[in-house]
Amino acid sequence: MASFQLNCPRCGAANRIPADKEGVAGRCGSCRAQLPPLYSTPRALTDATFDAFVAAYPGPVLAEFWAPW
Ligand SMILES: [Zn+2]
């Protein structure tokens, strides 16, 4: 199963995040601190969801804007 590595923002421990847990906030296996949700695939956001997602996400966000015209 694919997995990703996320370093804990509190203690720096490396945490393995299974790919099927994408977008789920977990806990550090070392210090039990809350880990931010990890996204490895693009999220489709709208005018209604963009501001809340970016404001709540604790890390950097890469945004690509496009329009159908
Ligand atoms: Zn930790």
Query: Can you give the pLDDT at residue 47?
Result: 92
Query: Can you give the pLDDT at residue 50?
Result: 95
Query: Can you give the pLDDT at residue 23?
Result: 86
How many whole angstroms from 18 Cα to the centroid of ligand 1?
17
DSSP secondary structure of 11-51: T--EEEEEGGGTT---B-TTT-PBPPP---S-----TTTHH
Instruction: Give the model confidence (pLDDT) of 2-40 as tens digits.
Output: 888 989 989 999 999 998 998 888 999 999 999 988 888
Q: How buried is 1 (Cβ within 10 angstroms: 0-12 exposed, 13-18 middle, 19+ buried)?
A: exposed
Region 40-61: mean pLDDT is 89
Q: Which residue has the tokens 């999220």?
A: 43
Extents of the domains making up the chain: 3-56
How many whole angstroms from 15 Cα to the centroid of ligand 1?
8
d(CA 24, CA 54): 16
d(CA 38, CA 25): 7
How many whole angstroms from 10 Cα to the centroid of ligand 1?
5
How many whole angstroms from 62 Cα to the centroid of ligand 1?
25
More confident residue, 48 or 56: 48
How many whole angstroms from 8 Cα to the centroid of ligand 1?
5
